[in-house]
């Protein structure tokens, strides 16, 4: 005898629900930072502020971006004058990235708005549930 096959319902699959949750977060992010930065650009800026200075590939690793993806992101941040690029004296392959003055001046506000987006996204849950969700999600990664 075989066990009863569980039906496949798209709405019950983690992958699908993760996509929906990411979409909603993107919408809320857009409402607060849309005119300035995309979520990915935001992550790169915040990480660069944390790290101070690093290579492009290193920034990609620290923000979970592909080398090809991070190139485009950095290019656009440089075009906006938020990130500067300098040659690495000790390694001719790499260039060192850092926030420009304009970029640094923006960080405190980005943090504030970033917190707001997180609060917006988690708003349907009470604080204990929010902690539970984050703890479980982290274990998936």
Nearest residue to 46 (alpha-carbon basis) of 134, 87, 102, 106: 106
Candidates 49, 51, 53, 76; binder of DNA (CB under 7 A) is: 76
Distances (CA, A) of 139 to 28, 40, 133: 24, 22, 10
- 94 or 104: whose CB is closer to DNA? 94
Q: Name the minimum Å distance from CB 13 to its own copies.
A: 5
Q: Name the minimum Å distance from CB 26 to DNA.
A: 6
The Cα 26–Cα 77 span in angstroms is 19
- 73 or 117: whose CB is closer to DNA? 73
Q: Catalog residues that contact its own copies under the rule CB under 8 A.
A: 6-8, 10, 12-26, 29, 39, 43, 46-47, 50, 63-64, 110-111, 114-115, 117-118, 121-122, 124-125, 129, 132-134, 136-141
The Cα 77–Cα 84 span in angstroms is 9
Question: Are 19 and 104 within 8 A, CB to CB?
Answer: no
């Amino acid at each position: 005898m075989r066990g009863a096959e569980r039906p496949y319902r798209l709405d019950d699959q983690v992958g699908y629900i993760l996509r929906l949750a990411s979409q909603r977060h993107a919408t809320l992010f857009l409402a607060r930072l849309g005119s300035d930065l995309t979520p990915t650009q935001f992550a790169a800026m915040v990480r660069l502020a944390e790290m101070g200075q690093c290579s492009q590939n290193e920034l990609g690793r620290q923000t979970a971006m592909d080398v090809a993806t991070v190139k485009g992101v950095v290019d656009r941040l440089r075009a906006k004058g938020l990130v500067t690029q300098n040659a690495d004296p000790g390694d001719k392959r790499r260039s060192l990235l850092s926030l420009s003055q304009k970029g640094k001046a923006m960080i405190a506000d980005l943090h504030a708005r970033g917190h707001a987006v997180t609060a917006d996204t988690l708003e349907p849950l009470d604080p204990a549930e929010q902690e539970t969700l984050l703890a479980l999600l982290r274990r998936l990664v």
